[in-house]
Structure 1
């Protein structure tokens, strides 16, 4: 066997190629090849004790021992790169490898040998093993079982802080941050920051079945919290909760929770933080140390594995982070409003007594019925009991009432006629209060349900000719009287028509009767 170790050590001592060749008994060409290949793969002196000539040969020429077996050699770099692609598996690559062997009259490795050789190669030369997990495919998330603490400056009381943990199973890179609660807002905020820390999003999210994320999860049905589902859609990912009672579904994050509990939470046991920001700053420092710690059984660290072999596979982040929203249900009241946190928002009156879904964000309130948005309002803050009412949501009779302003009253009078406008202006000027005047004019406006504009204008014209102090009641009386007079005149006219339109009438003599003398 070639003295690989001696070649590298002599080269490190700056011995010439001729001297190395004479000392090891290898050609200068072979010595040059070994030195260049070692430099290319980052193998430098001093060498560790376990790096024997055989180890170095396998490191520099991973396919050499395979070629000696008479089998068709394996291209490990190609296999490793292909496994990063969606839906590509080792069984598919082995099938393609066998087809290539048949085409070239070569002897292929069995699938078991194929798998064993790739695993040995990836464990030794690569930071990630892509047999079980593909890069950028999954992010597992959970709350750590152990809690951190912050101290109240005034009382010295210890306040619990809950630690969110996320892990990418392929590279094992993790993210952690503390929150004062485990509510929905904290859950969503932690996801936003985790994606920002990674610089991208994975294809799948695997949470536990906690209520903030999963409403219901059985073998037949999965119902996600609407806000959590909306956040996942914003980041173009899919939520697939771990099966109930199946911790292996998120084994990576379970392992990371235990490790982070030791290397972050326990490591900060003697550190006093007086605010959540201070605590998260300390957690971030420990997190960087954790992700940069070297693996014990393979080269690299979580951070290097992520940077070199997984980050490229993440989906790009949207231009803006997800904006927190909350979903509630409400019943539409008889006044076509819903109550949300003691504020009232209108919906179209056709939905009275219906159950609707309400999406609350910091700025807006959106109302949905059967997944269709039926109303949107700017969110109200401050004093309880405020109303946000949209005119188009009202029935027609309510629109008439709320539209009562002096300007609207004058505009209505103009639309009827000059005499009606005169009456409206007089009522506005003569009434003791504006509210009283508007109520009177509203009563007059309701006359449009029974009378035409022509009839209202004619009644106002008649009233103005009779008095300089017109009232709404007088107008209504004239409208009623005019209607009666018109009805009576119509009856008389019909009677006259019937009287004049008679046929030829035979006398009594025609029917055998006699005419008696008086």
Structure 2
């Protein structure tokens, strides 16, 4: 029996191959082949799990299969099949098991099959990536390095940030420069990347930056609402990388470094006054990078993308995503929210509530518990403007807002001609402010009195006085109401005479009715 572990332990301790051969009784050729195989596979240390049986299978899997009667898998074919969409290692193991049993051979158990495939794929990971399938992922990030452009007006240098998107399978990339790293730039970069690729991947893998992820919370991160809307529009999903885990998006990390060397460094001395001109230069260099041949695999990024990956991308939506931004606001006591020093009304019932605000280019939408409660055209220009809808106001506020001479005349016309005459008199004989205050008090009486009572009182006061006032009008209303109530209850006071006194003349004396 070959003692693989002991041979390697002695070799790692600096013992010569001649001494190892003499000590363990194995030929020098056997010792030499084991040491060379371990070095070619990068095995430089041993752990407790590295038993003789494990080492034999790891170093010489083909010998193990022949010696024990196991059916040897075609690892090259397994690796190629695994790159196809919806193909899993479990499925390939089932197919391998069927072929082995049909040939009268013993198949590997799934655990051993997966372990041996892992050893095989590890040797070729530089040229044959694992777990990357066409059209499955787009990794996105901001490059750490920046460029600058010169402001023509002020002559100052403006920093420019570089957005990078990469498809891991083909390494085909998209790069664009922006003047900031705000949400609108982040979303625009995605839209332009989709249009450059002429398709959409199944998932997006961003870093945990605030424009993409509000809060990294383990396996359930809180995605920025505008970013989530973009993913919903293009029918893809967002799977953020873990915090401080750059290996979760290795392709874009590698591309960022490559872009920094091949594009950013190359344009460091380029004199530019316009972001569009800079992006033309970037796209020119990016095109050359995508067409450059691979060193360790056939083709280029562009050829692999066009021939193997492009057809797997989801089709673009016919309409481009409309950029939006989400904010959180508190409804103030004046039932308005403040957005960029502009004020927008919401129904007064939501005072002191926390609401979510969706901002697009020309529209403001306010949501409470996923229900839209208000929308306004976006205010532009001088700060401090108010957009207020009457239906958002309490009744007394709305009445005050709508209280004008014209509205008072309209109200009086609905009451009757006498009321209209009285309103015209008040407007004519008092200052505007005093008249409106009187009319506000007058109009508030509709909560206590019917239209007919108001019109009758107006008729009474116009007959009785040439200078009607609201206070006298209220007195007449009270008196009329009492009189009507007394008549209905038959308690109206009547004049009675005492016939014991002869000098008292009653109604009969004057011809009145009995």
TM-score range for the pair, normalised by the shorter chain length: 0.7 to 0.9
Number of residue-to-residue matches in the alignment: 422
Deviation, 1:134, is: 1.4
Alignment of 1:55-454 (within 5 A): 83-86=83-86, 88-99=87-98, 102=101, 105=103, 111=113, 129=128, 131-153=130-152, 157-219=156-218, 221-428=220-427, 430-431=428-429, 436-454=434-452
Deviation, 1:426, is: 4.0
Is the 8 Å Cα contact of residues 73 and 96 (structure 2) preserved in structure 1? no
Q: Secondary structure at the match of 2:138?
A: strand
* Cα distance in 2 between the residues matched to 1:365 and 1:431: 45
Q: Secondary structure at the match of 1:267?
A: coil
* Cα distance in 1 between the residues matched to 2:107 and 2:165: 38
Q: Secondary structure at the match of 2:144?
A: strand
Distance 1:152 1:464, change over 3 A: closer
Distance 1:489 1:112, change over 3 A: closer
Q: TM-score, normalised by structure 1?
A: 0.72
* Cα distance in 2 between the residues matched to 1:155 and 1:379: 30
Is the 8 Å Cα contact of residues 148 and 265 (structure 1) preserved in structure 2? yes
Distance 1:342 1:123, change over 3 A: closer
* Cα distance in 1 between the residues matched to 2:106 and 2:136: 31
CA displacement 1:384-430 (0-9 Å, x = unmatched):
222111121111222222222444333322332333233334444x2
The more displaced of 338-347 and 280-289 is 338-347
Partner of 2:497: none
Query: Which runs of no fewer than 5 residues in structure 1 stay unpaired?
Result: 1-69, 497-518
Deviation, 1:97, is: 4.6
Is the 8 Å Cα contact of residues 90 and 131 (structure 1) preserved in structure 2? no
CA displacement 1:206-252 (0-9 Å, x = unmatched):
11112222221133652222222222222222222111122210111
Distance 1:156 1:348, change over 3 A: closer
Q: TM-score, normalised by structure 2?
A: 0.73
Deviation, 1:197, is: 1.1
Deviation, 1:490, is: 6.4
Partner of 2:65: none
* Cα distance in 2 between the residues matched to 1:156 and 1:396: 56
Deviation, 1:434, is: 5.1
Is the 8 Å Cα contact of residues 235 and 318 (structure 1) preserved in structure 2? yes
* Cα distance in 1 between the residues matched to 2:91 and 2:485: 93
**Over aligned residue pairs, what C-alpha RMSD do you find?**
3.5
The more displaced of 465-474 and 75-84 is 75-84
* Cα distance in 1 between the residues matched to 2:219 and 2:114: 36
CA displacement 1:167-194 (0-9 Å, x = unmatched):
1111111111112222222222212211
Distance 1:467 1:163, change over 3 A: same
